[in-house]
Structure 1
Amino acid sequence: MSVGVVSGPAVIADGDGNFVVDDIEVEPPGPGEVRVAIAAAGVCHTDHAALRWPGPLVLGHEGAGHVEAVGEGVRGLQAGQPVLLNWAIPCGHCFQCVQGAASLCERTHELDQQGPGNSRAHPGATRWRGKPIECAFHLGTFSRYALVRAEALTSLPTQLPLDQACILGCAVMTGVGSAVNVAAIAPGDTVAVLGCGGVGLNVIQGARIAGAGTIVAIDRVPSRLALAREFGATHAIETRDDDAQHARLVAEVKSLTGGRGADHAFEATGAPALAFLPLRLARNGGNALQVSGAHGAGTLQLTDLFWNKRYLAPLYGGCVPERDFPRLLDWVAQGKLELAALVSHRYPLDRLADAFDDMLAGRSSKGVLRVA
């Protein structure tokens, strides 16, 4: 265990859409903090969006690695231990955490900065070119080292490869959790999933684990639809650019779901124009969920009647770390939850541009950076 300042490469975004790989310095952990040697980090659409967040900024919010040093008061973690990083860091004390909604922690989202449990590491903990630098989601996993609050970490089994485990911290949790925790899919339910990338494939996995009877995968890319079937989809619909107001798509989903629409319809494309489409795919009294976090202009013509439909935008699959991560790990161990086949591409840190290109073009289901 190192007790001094360490340095290593990291991806630094400038806020204008550009990034460089350069060394940063990371201080030893303070009370309640842990320094992690990152081994692998998942690449997500959110990371691409973060290129234009106020910079400079250490990118990355999905990651796994080994505990490198622990601060005063940290219990249950020791040097060398493999860990998963969780970007929605619960304080355990704010209004939302007390209500059991850890993913909405008001201190993580900076609505409440009073009292114990702030999600940030101590000020100036990470520096670039001699000046303090912020880390995305208080993590910054596109880096050799990350200094985080202990609450951000979950222990991992030693036999689980870290370049698979890292994606549990966002894509898997968001997709599976949206299906299991938020929609609460029941055995025999019908499900439609729009978008079969990293999150959408995990919605499909969650629906399969929950026992859904019909799972309709929808995407523009045939290879993604083939993968969706491997992950549990019972039907696949390839979309076309000439679908007039999505009428054909809506009709096909209804034809597969008793003529009424799906019990649960999910949007996982990240395209704002599609954010409300689940309302047309869900039956009356059903659930329409926008799980991609799409931002931007989106409209919906009220040509259909939406009786008693619930529109939800779940954050992080309703994650409660102490409940959900052990359950996900159990499902992995039992062979119910697939990780290895999700990771289609692996890249060194200095090939992040290629990872973004493959992701945006639909060539990858999930890309991972090998940091160590």
Structure 2
Amino acid sequence: MTSRLTSRAAVTDGRGGFHIDTTEVAAPGPGEVRVKIAASGLCHTDHQSLSWDGPLVMGHEGAGYVEALGEGLTHLKHLTEGSPVLLNWAIPCGQCPQCARGSANVCDRSMGVKPELGSPRAAEGHTRWRGQAIQRAFNLGTFSEYTLVRAEALTPLPATVPLDRACILGCGVMTGVGSVLNVAQVQPGESVAVLGCGGVGLSAIQGARIAGAGQVIAIDRNPEALARARPFGATHLLQAPLEDPQGEQLLALLKGLTDGRGVDYAFEATGVHALAFLPLRLVRHGGMALQLSGAHGERSVSLFDFWWNKRYVVPLYGGCQPERDFPRLVEWWQRGQLDLDGMVSRFYALDELPQAMDELLAGRNIKGVVRFA
């Protein structure tokens, strides 16, 4: 095993920019695994990471092959070199109270609640760039030929699964599908509305279809984005009016489809903070509104919007339990119930990442994926 490997990677400058450069990735220590990345999906969080403290290796939605194993692995002991794996950015410790109660997506170690449990990242100095130690986005940094991670970040994949599709399971698909099935727990025949028809929104629509929802209403201002929703399971399409700051026109349209009641569940997946509370107005009394996009910023809301047993939830990562959810997502793909091929609009080489980011921001793709040779 080579002690350190050179690896081309996308490195941020902490000022809104990035460039492709050569890094060095250390050999795995105890409890660590070095992974050769095969493919990495893009999402809007990658663009946000350009302004985080840098330098930083970008990317958090990846799949690849085990390249080297550290000693003392207590997690996934059956991994071998060459095993295909999916990377998971909410890295559970498996020991804390949250993990014990089935809430690994908000693991105390991963969220920094209990420092005595250690760190979800690989040992210090795991990645070096221009002579200095740097960190990796979400402790993964998947826009890189190689990465070094805690073994708990990995889920084995069947050899038959194409990694340039499977990689998108590790963030956007899990967030959307999981929020419907794990968090909202939509039941057959119930009604769902999804605001925003990007990668997360379309994944939520797929989750609603898998759940057997009777009515799945896709909502978007962009007619091209809205048209994408039908093949993934939308039963109705609503183009949101452009001049409707309070959502009154949209609410009237939606109530016209739901016998004046509103839907059982409404999911926000736009990333626009001004729309974060709009789902509360779209659900019936006793309904659930869920904000999936992680929208930031301040926004006022009337307390009346919460009245009559309505619930507002901001789930993280679709309630992901890696050992339960990723095999289930793969099984649905194998059965033809989950469409990953249709979610990937375009593939890019690492050197094309600037173009890929531009097209992400322009909304031209559902999901773009960087493939490594």
TM-score by length of 2: 0.97
Residue 103 (structure 2) pairs with residue 101 (structure 1): yes
1:244 deviates by: 4.6
Query: What corresponds to 1:12 in structure 2?
Result: 11
Query: What corresponds to 2:67 in structure 1?
Result: 68
1:243 deviates by: 2.0
Query: What corresponds to 2:89 in structure 1?
Result: 87
1:297 deviates by: 2.2
Query: What corresponds to 1:202 in structure 2?
Result: 203
State the distance in 2 between where 1:296 and 1:225 align: 26
Residue 56 (structure 2) pairs with residue 57 (structure 1): yes
Secondary structure of the structure 2 residue equivalent to 1:340? coil
State the distance in 2 between where 1:365 and 1:14 align: 27
Secondary structure of the structure 1 residue equivalent to 2:255? helix
1:363 deviates by: 1.0
State the distance in 2 between where 1:108 and 1:305 align: 31
Query: What corresponds to 1:271 in structure 2?
Result: 272
State the distance in 2 between where 1:338 and 1:306 align: 37
Query: What corresponds to 1:26 in structure 2?
Result: 25
**8 A Cα contact 2:109 2:117, kept in partner:** no
Query: What corresponds to 1:177 in structure 2?
Result: 178
Secondary structure of the structure 2 residue equivalent to 1:66? strand
The one-letter code matched in structure 2 to 1:58 is: V
The one-letter code matched in structure 2 to 1:216 is: I
Secondary structure of the structure 2 residue equivalent to 1:114? helix
Secondary structure of the structure 1 residue equivalent to 2:141? coil
Deviations 1:242-287 (A, max 9, x none): 1252111111111112211110000000111110000011111000
**8 A Cα contact 1:279 1:306, kept in partner:** no
1:97 deviates by: 1.1
1:55 deviates by: 0.5
4+ residue stretches of structure 1 with deviation over 6 A?
none
Query: What corresponds to 1:130 in structure 2?
Result: 131
% identical equivalent positions? 61
Secondary structure of the structure 2 residue equivalent to 1:6? strand
State the distance in 1 between where 2:305 and 2:313 align: 18
**8 A Cα contact 2:345 2:365, kept in partner:** yes
Provide the aligned C-alpha RMSD in A.
1.2
Following superposition of structure 1 onto structure 2, how do residues 269-348 of structure 1 map, counting pairs within 5 Å?
269-301=270-302, 306-348=307-349
Secondary structure of the structure 1 residue equivalent to 2:246? helix
Query: What corresponds to 2:248 in structure 1?
Result: 247
**8 A Cα contact 1:181 1:318, kept in partner:** yes
In structure 2, relative to structure 1, the CA distance for the partners of 1:260 and 1:344 (3 Å cut) is: same
Secondary structure of the structure 2 residue equivalent to 1:245? coil
Relative to structure 2, which stretch is displaced further, 88-97 or 165-174? 88-97
The one-letter code matched in structure 2 to 1:215 is: V
For structure 1, which runs of at least 5 residues remain unmatched after alignment?
none
Residue 218 (structure 2) pairs with residue 224 (structure 1): no
Q: How many residues align?
A: 370
TM-score by length of 1: 0.97
Relative to structure 2, which stretch is displaced further, 209-218 or 357-366? 357-366
State the distance in 1 between where 2:112 and 2:21 align: 28
Secondary structure of the structure 1 residue equivalent to 2:247? helix
The one-letter code matched in structure 2 to 1:4 is: S
Deviations 1:126-166 (A, max 9, x none): 11011110101110001010000111011111121111000
For structure 2, which runs of at least 5 residues remain unmatched after alignment?
none
1:298 deviates by: 2.1
